[in-house]
Amino acid sequence: MTQQHVNRRDFLKRTAASAAAVTLAAPAIAQNTDGRVVVVGGGFAGASCARALKRIDPKISVTLVEASHTFTACPFSNAVIAGLRDLKQQQFDYKKLEGPINVTFEPATRVDTDARTVIIGDAARLPYDRLVLAPGIDIRWDGLPGYDEAAAARMPHAWRAGEQTLLLRKQLEAMDDGGLVVISAPANPFRCPPGPYERASLIAHYLKTRKPKSKLIILDAKDAFSKQGLFLAAWKELYPELIEWVPLSKGGRVTAVDPKSNTLTTEFGSHKAAVANVIPPQKAARIAEAAGVADKTGWCPIDPVTFESKLAPNIHVIGDACIAGGMPKSAFAGNSQAKGCAAALAKLLNGEKPDEPKLINTCYSLVSPDYGISVAGVYTPVNGQWTDVKGAGGVSPAKAPRSDRALEANFANGWFKTITEEAFG
């Protein structure tokens, strides 16, 4: 019953959309295209979506709007912080995309949903039949008392890779042996759920090898985290006495920071750090709010089959910015969603009904350079929400030989090469 109702509604919506397309998209038809898609954001989700669209239906005109000429990838940036990797290995450009895809290096500032136009830079207007927003995250600068953009220059978040990544690395390199490193981890949801704990692991690896008298404390606003059992067991094995995890129920939630004294305050105490890495609360990046597709949580509710916003028609939101139910905010999930969204868009623009999709996520974390662990999931829409397929997915086995951990570390490296090739060429 419900299913029929949805189908009918979708049918009506599509009929209306194609009628509108005929009147509005006349130039597109004249140029013999299947429609115009503008993708905002050239990260894992946006770049993958733009390329997937062209692969599936070369007749769709695709424009990618991205403010920066260089993309700096977050996955593996924890290895840069720990001195195991160069930032250059994280950086990609859009040269392989240009040609089939129109790439515009301007920030998208506004969306005129009625005129179906993206405003880029100061005034230039880009018309679309379908808009894909893959803007990633912004820091909530009002989310943690004391933590503003100036504070981030002293207490880096390093949660958007680039200068911040290098700043945290430099601070660790400059720290005396015996220093206290404090990581503040936010409450859910946030980009890369296992990220703070991989970071703690790789920083611990650096400290163990270079500054063994040092200590690392994770102040956490949660009582549970991704791959927790595996991380805790690995820390005990690799970094005994080095990492201390303070969960919410033990007073771990950071309530304020003071960049002048490099101090983090919790409900029950304060910690003066030699190096403080504050991972603050986050939200969908600004353009999502400007387009009216972010709800009061700061993230974007979507229809799981098409990724179309529940708040504005013809705008599809993918990657970290969207609310994808059981799917985490990860590069793999963003890439997976990008291809799902591209398939749905190609169908919609060809007047067809999108297929019922199924997506996968796999997230690798490195506990040390040769010790990898993973979490995987298979997802399908249930009651309008991306939901874990029962019996599938889960984390690496708790008891596994070190050779398996080494194999997973190797797979993690392989995954990075594959996914960046798929997104950026």
Partner 1 sequence: MAAARALINVPPKARRGEVIGIKSLISHEMETGFRPNATGQLIPRNIIKEFVCTYNGVEVFRAEFFPAVSANPFVSFTTRATESGTITMTWTGDNGFHASESVAITVE
Partner 2 sequence: MRPNHCLAALVILCASATSASAIDVAPAGAAACSGCHPASRAVETPFTRLTGRPAAEIVTAMQEFRGGQRPATVMDRIAKGFSDDEIKAIATWYARQKD
Binding site for partner 1 (CB under 8 A): 223, 248-251, 267-269
Residue 312 lies near partner 2 (rule: CB under 8 A)? no
Using the rule CB under 8 A, which residue among 85, 109, 310, 411 binds partner 2? Answer: 411
Q: Name which of 56 and 87 has its Cβ closer to partner 2.
A: 56
Q: Name which of 257 and 359 has its Cβ closer to partner 2.
A: 359
Using the rule CB under 8 A, which residue among 112, 177, 267, 421 binds partner 2? Answer: 421
* Whole-number Å distance between alpha carbons of 134 and 138: 12
* Whole-number Å distance between alpha carbons of 316 and 36: 13
Numbers of helices and strands, H then E, in the chain: 11, 25
* Whole-number Å distance between alpha carbons of 220 and 279: 10
Residue 357 lies near partner 2 (rule: CB under 8 A)? yes
Tokens of 417: 């090469």
Using the rule CB under 8 A, which residue among 188, 352, 382, 402 binds partner 2? Answer: 352
Q: Choose from partner 2, partner 1, none: what does 347 bind? Cβ within 5-8 Å by kind.
A: partner 2
Count residues binding partner 2 (CB under 8 A). Answer: 51
Closest contact distance (angstroms) between CB of 59 and partner 2 is: 9
What's the chain's length in residues?
A: 425
* Whole-number Å distance between alpha carbons of 35 and 144: 43
- The HSE-up count of residue 266 (CA atoms within 13 Å, CB side) is 24
Residue 355 lies near partner 2 (rule: CB under 8 A)? yes
Closest contact distance (angstroms) between CB of 229 and partner 2 is: 15
3-state secondary structure of 56: helix
Parallel/antiparallel/unpaired status of strands 359-368 and 385-388: unpaired
Evaluated on CA atoms 402, 403, 406, 408, the torsion sign reads: negative
Q: What is the DSSP string of 349-361?
A: HTT-PPPPP-EEE
Q: Name which of 18 and 255 has its Cβ closer to partner 1.
A: 255
Binding residues for partner 2, rule: CB under 8 A, are: 15, 18-19, 22-23, 52, 56-57, 332, 335-336, 339-340, 343, 346-347, 350-353, 355-360, 362, 374, 376-378, 380, 389, 391-394, 396, 404, 407-408, 410-411, 413-415, 417-419, 421-422
